Structure 1
Amino acid sequence: MPATPPSSTKPPRRRAEPWTRAGALRGLRALAAQLGQDAEALLARQKLPLAALDDPEVRLPYRGLCRLLEAGARDWACPDFGLRLAAVQHLSLLGAVGLAARLPARVGEALTALGDRLGAHSDAFTMALEVAGPRAVLSYRPACPEEPKTQLLAFAMAVTRNAVAFVSGQPDFAPQAVRLACPAPADAAVRRALARGLGASLRWGAPQTALQLDAALLDAPTAIQDTQYAPLIRDTLARLTAPPRPGTPDAPDAPDTVALVHQHIARLLPPGPCTQATVARALGLHPRALQRRLAAQGTHFSALLDAHRHALALTLLRQGTLPLAALARQLGYADQSVFNQAFRRWTGQSPGRLRRQALGPARAREAGAW
């Protein structure tokens, strides 16, 4: 009997574990302090990295986050755990992805822009905006629908509500209805706490998890559009989706530190101060750790700060609303002479000359360019 040739069929490739950024845990330490609990112990019991409490770019297994939220509600006797953790979250949860909402002029466009960029925050779920007549629906669609539990879905809807309120500039925004694609909890205290916290007509066991709002709100102007920093925001967002350069870290767990530093420089400057130490602190890193991460991506903090100052200086000069001394302070320079030297290095000319070219002598004189 002839020997059976070895099979060339390769075993099916195992699907990578769905992940999400640890930005979702922002505020967990504060919540633990309020309840007299230990955040580190909660993470340890779920076998999640403790670094997630300090570094929002740590990638957490999505199923691990689901388990943590359920464990927090159970172990800390906190039936609205997901809602309380979401209370301090809006676009901050998304890190640099949240910048996408600062470019469009309308609420609906901003929410769509966020949904289009969510892959850089997590591959575990998507958000879709659909309009049907006078109603609009923001739906939450997990990649592993069998896993998400009550607390995770309530957390997702509370964060979505906060994001709509933030983008629209309506802090009292309340959805018309909330649907959760999970059975009603057996514990009546959990049912009451979540219904009260979501503040809307709540339906359990729905076909999908979604938030319903008045479609007219989508056409309203956003409260957060940022035209001044639009070029920098676009650059940061481009870095989130750009393929890694040869020689730079391209492993799934490598955070895009350059994009994060751009985000924090834009937040701190103006009015400053903006230093490597302040940005490292905002990222939950030691300055040397930040330095190593940037070096691995082929740059350093002073180069990123210099590029931001250059772009911002050109914008402010062409606006013609600030005297040069005040403009230098906005850029974080100790005095105007240091700014003048930097500007000559960037452009080969003085800031006053560029302003005169852009505005004309009369307007430049009014702005203090002479």
Structure 2
Amino acid sequence: MSSPIRATSLQGIDTLIKELGGDFVQALHACNVSLNFKNLEDEYLPYRQYAQLLEYCSNEFNCPSFRLQLANKQEFEILGHIAIAAKSSTNIEEAINWVKNYLHLHSPALTMNVQPLENTQTLFLSFGINLSPQPLVNQALELTLGLACKTLKELSNNQCKPMQVFLPQKLAVNSYAYNAFFGCPVVEDRNCAGIVINKQHLALKLSISSLSKTQATFKYLAQYGAHTQPLPEQVIALIKPMLPIHQCSNLTIATALGMHPRTLHRALAKHNTSFVKLKDQTRRTLAEYYLRQNHHCLATISELLGYQEQATLCASIKRWFGCSARVLKKRKMLH
């Protein structure tokens, strides 16, 4: 099975579907999902099916806030051994590192990065889906963010609260519903999905530190080892949120990674790439995404990609795709 996710990620979905007046079994059948819901801990399903099921439920039951309601029904424990290790930590920083380093065991399709954003006082916890071609993952990403925010508050006795939440798509429901759920402003169309927190909150002691089953957990995790993203992927994760605020320079990215710009240049060269190439590659990917969505004018896309002028975006589109933005949009609509 390629890019699976632990079936525990569907915890509570049966109850929520029933509350919405839907048929749980029929919903699973419609998305070709076959699971034993009495033993989710030992089951997996393809991430694409998982994402498809969430999108299906939101549309079928006319519930744009489906993912937020489902997040309220889930617990941190769906991550299994990762959650146990994280809850044995002494502070929030250690707990975050456990999740970041071992999230691939929950699903290799899901990644988490931690990086400074705009200033040294805030940190950005970003989440990405590594699937190509990428399915529609709006519901899945918002569910991930919802559970992450809920968990941070729980572990810190409600002290570590998000300052902002970024979404790569437009809000599915009114901003008030999002702000009420997350307890902070939610920014749409920010090129990435993530949570902004106060850097000082990393030192907060865990309010529910647990030592239950930790030795068995550490032994289990040690069999697999922590996952470290390749440097180019780390750079791309930093580029995305920096583009719209016009702070995406070689210096800012190198500083965020704790490197000198020349050191970053040499390190990327070993991967046969460079900061300039990765920035251009990221812009190309985002441009194609926004043009396919057909929600934004070129002026807005230009701002999201960090261009000073719309004409520069138009020239880049022609270089990337060999045609104008108008022609490209028509092609996407035909497909």
TM-score band, normalised by the shorter chain? 0.5 to 0.7
Q: Does structure 1 residue 84 correspond to structure 2 residue 66?
A: no
Count how many residue pairs are aligned between Structure 1 and Structure 2. 223
Deviations 1:122-141 (A, max 9, x none): 01111122235110111001
The 1:174–1:103 alpha-carbon spacing in structure 2 relative to 1, beyond 3 Å, is: closer
Q: Does structure 1 residue 59 correspond to structure 2 residue 44?
A: yes
Q: 1:158 corresponds to which residue? A: 146
Task: Answer yes or no: is the 8 Å Cα contact 1:80–1:197 preserved in 2.
Answer: no
The 1:18–1:192 alpha-carbon spacing in structure 2 relative to 1, beyond 3 Å, is: farther
CA distance in 1, matches of 2:113, 2:58: 28
Task: Answer yes or no: is the 8 Å Cα contact 1:177–1:212 preserved in 2.
Answer: yes
Q: 1:119 corresponds to which residue? A: 104
Question: What is the RMSD computed on CA atoms of the aligned residues?
Answer: 2.5
Deviations 1:98-157 (A, max 9, x none): 112023211111111111111111011111222351101110011027324322121111
> Out of 156, 165, 169, which is 1:168 matched to?
156
The normalised TM-score by structure 2 is 0.60
Aligned-residue offset at 1:81:
0.4
Deviations 1:166-193 (A, max 9, x none): 22122x75311000112444xxx46654
CA distance in 1, matches of 2:6, 2:37: 9
Q: 1:218 corresponds to which residue? A: 202
Which SS does the other structure have where 2:53 is aligned?
helix
Q: Which amino acid aligns with 1:212?
A: V
Which SS does the other structure have where 1:226 is aligned?
coil
Task: Answer yes or no: is the 8 Å Cα contact 1:79–1:193 preserved in 2.
Answer: no
CA distance in 2, matches of 1:91, 1:169: 14
Q: Does structure 1 residue 73 correspond to structure 2 residue 58?
A: yes
Task: Answer yes or no: is the 8 Å Cα contact 1:134–1:216 preserved in 2.
Answer: yes
The normalised TM-score by structure 1 is 0.55
Aligned-residue offset at 1:228:
6.7
CA distance in 2, matches of 1:181, 1:207: 5
The 1:90–1:130 alpha-carbon spacing in structure 2 relative to 1, beyond 3 Å, is: farther
> Out of 5, 9, 23, which is 1:24 matched to?
9
Q: Does structure 1 residue 149 correspond to structure 2 residue 137?
A: yes
CA distance in 2, matches of 1:37, 1:54: 22
CA distance in 1, matches of 2:38, 2:175: 28
The 1:218–1:192 alpha-carbon spacing in structure 2 relative to 1, beyond 3 Å, is: same
Q: Which amino acid aligns with 2:114?
A: L
Aligned-residue offset at 1:82:
0.5
CA distance in 2, matches of 1:211, 1:53: 32
Task: Answer yes or no: is the 8 Å Cα contact 2:152–2:161 preserved in 1.
Answer: no
Which has the larger displacement, 127-136 or 77-86?
Answer: 127-136
Q: Which has the larger radius of gyration?
A: 1
Structure 2 spans left out of the alignment, 5+ residues? 227-335
Q: Does structure 1 residue 197 correspond to structure 2 residue 184?
A: no
CA distance in 1, matches of 2:146, 2:203: 22
Task: Answer yes or no: is the 8 Å Cα contact 2:91–2:202 preserved in 1.
Answer: yes
> Out of 219, 233, 238, which is 1:235 matched to?
219
CA distance in 1, matches of 2:101, 2:89: 13
Which SS does the other structure have where 1:128 is aligned?
strand
CA distance in 2, matches of 1:111, 1:202: 21
Instruction: Trace 1:1-370 onto structure 2 (pairs within 5 A).
Output: 17-52=2-37, 54-131=39-116, 132-144=119-131, 146-170=134-158, 174-185=161-172, 189=173, 193-227=177-211, 230-238=214-222
Task: Answer yes or no: is the 8 Å Cα contact 2:109–2:131 preserved in 1.
Answer: yes
CA distance in 1, matches of 2:214, 2:30: 43
Structure 1 spans left out of the alignment, 5+ residues? 1-15, 243-370
Q: Which amino acid aligns with 2:147?
A: V
